[in-house]
Amino acid sequence: MTHYADLLIIGAGPAGISAALAAARSGARIVLLDDNPLPGGQIWRDGPAAHLPRQARNLRQRLDACSNIRIHSATRVIASNGPKQLLVEDPEHGWLISYDKLILCTGARELLLPFPGWTLPGVTGAGGLQALIKGGLPVHGETLVIAGSGPLLLASAASAKQHGAQVLRIAEQASRRAVAGFTAQLPRWPAKLLQSLRLFDPQYRTASHVLAALGSDRLEGVRLQQQGKIVELPCQRLACGFGLIPNIQLGQALDCAIEGQAIAVDAWQACSRADHYAAGECTGFGGSELALVEGAIAGHAAVDERQAAQQLWPRRARWQGFAKALNTAFALDPQLKALAQPDTLVCRCEDVPYAALTEHHDWRSAKLATRCGMGACQGRVCGGAVQHLFDWPAAAPRPPFSPARIETLLCLDEQPAP
């Protein structure tokens, strides 16, 4: 069976929710797909130990009140089936959905860089630790070290402390001067200044980064380079995150132009392909405030409400200024490319070490020779790592984009949309 939407939105994080609500007043038939159980994306991820902010609860209530918005949760895009038609799957079945307009709000994922010991049990991403805690992971009484780059480190530390963990160190790779320069600009965005004051932690150290996770069968400690000195700390958990990578795979599959590591958009949030838009972190990382306004602009533009969209341009410009300051301050130091040793695994799924990749010149060559990126995660972890380590451009995905049931794939035999 083939379903139809006037406007199909992929991703129900802040950008996707905002796009759907902006377009809803037009009366268009809107379908919102997301692979999480409930709308909110990673930033407003639900779970037994999650405490959603009032803004997230209000947006969910507004979605529920719109009769022309249909939400498909726990649903993934499996393949493209010709012009303006996608194959999707939820836990029960797969189906084809055709659309007139589409907005990509596919968000971003955490950049994980390989270093000795990073595959030990007890080592996670910084955002991954937050998600685990929201999902009910008990951390009460545990000792933690958090390392990497960006404000997510402080947010992850705050979540851990709220649930009874002891945070021994927050190691930020950016220099003290860069972080101080960024902090000095925060009065331009008072809400962010207040948030930074609430998240401040006395264990925060700049110009510091992880060198190795220590242990045999499980994490026992961490070795850090801290402001020019080598420091070792015993701990039970290590959370490392080096920023975010836009999720552009579906945009690539739909032949949308890519600029840098993000989906390229114009002032209306329109992609290079007609009737396709993108908003939020898949167009570049800038925080939930920027994602919300970009989503609203895309939603209005997709239903031809150009004046309403244009009225939001000044607000977007304001938050784009924050994004630029953030990304400049927390740009990764080139020395982080030297963290991996020859025997350090880069692809955990297929046990591919760093040394096996150095002789290759691109992602395709490495995959063919080593199976790097061909495991269960389909390159979602190691793909970002090799992009950073070797400056390889991201390869366009091949369908199926996610593991799928045979019954779902058989839907592709149906007549594609005209």
- 61 and 92 inside one domain: yes
Task: Based on the fold, state whether residues 104 and 251 are members of the same structural domain.
Answer: yes
* Phi and psi angles of residue 276, each rounded to the nearest 5 degrees, phi first: -120, 135
- Residue 415 counted as domain residue: no
User: Is 203 in the same domain as 278?
Assistant: no
Rounded to an integer, what distance in angstroms lies between the CA atom of residue 406 and that of residue 418? 24
Provide the residue range defining the domain that includes 187: 112-242
Q: Which of 296, 326, 356 is the last residue of a domain?
A: 326
Task: Establish if 102 belongs to a structural domain.
Answer: yes
In a shared domain, residues 94 and 127: no
Pairwise CA distance, residues 345 & 331, whole Å: 24
State the average pLDDT over residues 280-298.
Answer: 96
Instruction: Indicate whether 417 belongs to any domain.
Output: no
- Same domain for 164 and 45, yes or no, is no
Q: The domain that contains 143 carries what CATH number? A: 3.50.50.60
Residue 117 and residue 228 in one domain: yes
* Cα separation values, 186 from 122, 195, 242, 328, Å: 34, 10, 21, 14
Boundary (domain end) residue, out of 291, 326, 361: 326
Between CA 338 and CA 354 the distance in angstroms is: 11
Do 79 and 28 fall within a single domain?
yes
Rounded-to-integer distance, Cα 349 and Cα 18, Å: 36
- Residue 217's SS3 state is coil
H or E element, residue 278: strand 276-278
Q: Would 403 be classed as within a structural domain?
A: no
**Which of 18, 56, 58, 5 has its CA nearest to residue 301?**
18
State residue 22 phi and psi, 5-degree precision.
Answer: -65, -40
Question: Does residue 370 lie in a domain region?
Answer: yes
Q: Whole-angstrom Cα distance, residue 95 to residue 2? A: 6
What per-residue confidence (pLDDT) applies to 270?
Answer: 98
Does the residue 406 lie in any domain? no
Which residues are bridge partners to 230 per DSSP? 225
The answer to whether residues 366 and 301 belong to one domain is: no
Residue-wise pLDDT for 132-161, tens only, equals: 998 899 999 999 999 999 999 999 999 999
Same-domain pairing of 93 and 132: no
When divided into structural domains, the chain yields a total of: 3
Same domain, 220 and 134: yes
Residue 47: burial class (beta carbons within 10 Å; 0-12, 13-18, 19+): middle
| Residue (of 269, 265, 256) closest to 306 by Cα position | 269
Average per-residue pLDDT in the chain? 92
pLDDT digits (tens, 9 = 90+) for 94-130: 999 999 999 999 999 999 999 999 999 999 999 999 9
Q: What is the pLDDT of residues 177-215, one digit of tens each?
A: 999 999 999 999 998 888 887 778 899 999 999 999 999
- Please say which residue of 216, 242, 268 terminates a domain: 242
> Is residue 400 included in any domain, yes or no?
no
Average pLDDT over residues 371-391: 88
Mean pLDDT of 297-317: 98
- Would you say how long the chain is, in residues? 418
What is the rounded distance in angstroms from the CA atom of residue 123 to the CA atom of residue 115? 11
Q: Which two tokens stand for residue 355?
A: 């040394």
**Residue 405 within a domain:** no
Co-location of 238 and 249 in the same domain: no
Check: CB of residue 225 under 8 Å from CB of residue 211.
yes
Single-letter code of the amino acid located at 170? I
Q: Are residues 126 and 228 in the same domain?
A: yes
